[in-house]
Structure 1
């Protein structure tokens, strides 16, 4: 009778040990996955900040005006170059 109890306890002990090893393995695997996801989130946050900075730089009026002058040969409107249209005039 004592031999059967010892065998059952040994089997239970081995089962618990295997369960513990498996739980630790899963915990480590999930922790590594979490670290990778957090690193990816940090990288995306950096890229988002860079894109916001680029957007604010590209949208400045002085830059747009300089590009219009340089690339499109545009000039600012002056009163001498303005044509006024009036309704009813022939």
Structure 2
């Protein structure tokens, strides 16, 4: 009878220790999940901010403004356009009849 009581006491102690360990691990996992959710929210906020920045940087008006201010570019007009007539190269043209010379 004494052995049975000792065995039951040991099993009760092991059960209590496993319960405490399980609760501790559960709390650690809960804290980790909360931290990861916070990080996910921060990353989502950063992603949306980057999408807005990309849209702003790709706007035609912004590109035009940077080209005019930083690069000192100006829009072309017909009076500023130069047309260059090139000499045609001597490339063999296929004849209309399809026969080779």
Counterpart-to-counterpart distance in 2, 1:27 and 1:75: 66
Deviation, structure 1 residue 68: 1.1
Q: Deviations over 1:43-67 (max 9, x none)?
A: 0110011001001101111111111
**TM-score under structure 1 normalisation?**
0.91
Spell out the pairing of 1:75-90 with structure 2 (5 A cutoff).
75-88=74-87
Structure 2 residues without counterparts, runs of 5 or longer? 89-101
Larger Rg computed on CA atoms: 2
Larger RCO: 1 or 2 (CA < 8 Å, sep 6+): 1
Q: Aligned residue for 1:60?
A: 59
Partner of residue 34, structure 2: 35
Aligned residues: 88
Residue 71 of structure 2 corresponds to 72
Measured on the aligned residues, the alpha-carbon RMSD in Å equals: 1.3
In terms of fraction of residues, the more helix-rich structure is 1
